[in-house]
Structure 1
């Protein structure tokens, strides 16, 4: 059985990653969407192991010491991280794993796992990104400007990724992501291992 691969998906806030990824998961079977661990309290309706793996701070720190995260960060007083064990279990079951993480996290993961495939999702234009952030209606104008500024910083690392997908429409972005994931399993190394029966 082929082993799964890990795909990192990064992109600025408001680019539509969640919408694209949920459509991709519907289209493509045998994919595990990595669930992050966090020390923040569950919000109403959130389930442990579904939305997050909810850990107390002491447990999270133990996991850091034991090198059990592919990446982690502290954000607004809480820890967030990607546990290795769930990713490895899924890959060993032949599933591809998707990590929806920001640029700094992607650098951490790549340092530990150089074979990950990194995909950057970008908006078709800055004006469109601003429109999407405004239409969400969740942020003040000041916060939107901060998000746009951060997006420009993230954009400067896009050239270090393996692939660059422009989310002009959800259908196009999903088609490109699906094609990338298929192509990654058509590399000679993997195909020759199948033929030689290793």
Structure 2
């Protein structure tokens, strides 16, 4: 299929160096706030690029959960393909694409796990169903059937019926410390 005839005129705000904040974190925060104000669907959705042991790039969508001068934080299963890549090659790129604003921001830097305390705090802020989902999900692995997942969910729902769901050892956060903004 030839897609050469697909065209879009990008007519929104241009990029003027004089209008940019010298601090890239403050500039990102300004643009993120604009994305929130513009009702961009999931403005915290980002593309995470990692590198596999064989040197092949991999890309997937994750959700940003916090950011400050220390870095950009997201959470995932430590057994996932992305987590394995990050352990072996702790350099990643993040790409935010806000179509409605005709803007994208790429952030590249080193990635490190956050503390267990940070992971635990975020985990317990999640809805109960999401907490159970973290336990049930065997990310990046083959699942025999949906019935297996549903049975595991039912078992865990009963097991933790009247108690706090603990943070799984195989789940937590990662922080990307920016070295470059583009």
Q: TM-score range by the shorter chain?
A: under 0.3
Q: TM-score, normalised by structure 1?
A: 0.26
Q: Higher RCO, 1 or 2 (CA under 8 Å, sep at least 6)?
A: 1
Q: TM-score, normalised by structure 2?
A: 0.27
Q: Kindly indicate which of the two structures has a greater share of residues assigned to strand.
A: 2
Q: Kindly indicate which of the two structures has a greater share of residues assigned to helix.
A: 1
Larger radius of gyration: 2
